[in-house]
Amino acid sequence: MPQAEVYYAQQFFTKEESDLYLQRLAEQVAWQQEEIKMFGKQLPLPRLTAWYGDKGYTYSGLYNAPQPWLPVLQELKERVEAASGDKYNSVLLNYYRHGQDSMGWHSDDEKSLGPGIASVSFGGERGFAFRHRERKDIPPVKLTLQHGSLLLMQGNTQRHWQHQLPKTSRPIAPRINLTFRNIIS
C-alpha cells in the first residue's frame, strides 16, 4: 500500500486467549447504543460502542467522556504497546452484533489523534477494506480480520487511506473490535 504503513498479525492472540477476551469484553464493557443525526433524523449507529481512556474525545460528532481503564483493557493495551512500539491513552470499542452492523468509509485523521492506531479483533471474522483517498488508480486492499488478530495503521496511513467494515449478508458471529489510540491534545 503506497503512502501507508500497515501491519497485520493474523494470530496475535492464541485461540484460547481470544475466546476468553471476547467473553470478558462482551460482559464487562459498558456498551452503549449511540445515535447520530443524519438528514435531520436521529438514527441509531449500526453497532454498539464504548470509549475508555485518560482523555475525552469527540468521534462522529459524539463526545466521549474519559472513563477509567478496565483491567481487561489495560492488559490488552500493554500487549499491543509491546508489539507496536507506540503508546496509547484511549480505546474505542465497537460491538458488531450481526452482519448488518458495520462501519462506513472514514479515516481516523482528527488533528488531536496521534498517527499510530492499533486495531484488535475478536469474534466473527469480517471483511475489511482500505481505499486510497486521492488515487483512484490504486485498487482497494481487502482483508479478513480474524479472531485474535492485530492490525496496525501507522505513519501516513490515515492521511492517504480510508477504511471500512462493510455489512455482510452471511450469517456471522458477533464481533468486538478495539482501536487503541493516542489523543495528543
Ligand X SMILES: O=C(O)CCC(=O)C(=O)O
Kindly list the residues in this chain that would bind ligand X in the complex (CB under 6 A): 92, 94, 103, 108, 119, 121, 128, 145, 163, 165, 177, 179
Query: Number of C-alpha atoms within 13 angstroms, CB side, residue 23?
Result: 6
- The residue among 24 and 119 lying less far from ligand X, judged by its C-beta, is 119
- Work out how close the CB of 102 gets to ligand X at its nearest, in angstroms, rounded to a whole number: 9
- Work out how close the CB of 151 gets to ligand X at its nearest, in angstroms, rounded to a whole number: 7
Alpha-carbon gap, residue 33 to 101, rounded angstroms = 12
Alpha-carbon gap, residue 32 to 59, rounded angstroms = 14
**Residue nearest ligand X, CB atom distance:** 177
Alpha-carbon gap, residue 94 to 175, rounded angstroms = 8
- The residue among 50 and 165 lying less far from ligand X, judged by its C-beta, is 165
- Work out how close the CB of 139 gets to ligand X at its nearest, in angstroms, rounded to a whole number: 20
DSSP 8-state assignment for residue 12: S
- The residue among 23 and 164 lying less far from ligand X, judged by its C-beta, is 164
- Work out how close the CB of 40 gets to ligand X at its nearest, in angstroms, rounded to a whole number: 25
On whether the CB atoms of residues 174 and 104 are closer than 8 A, the answer is no
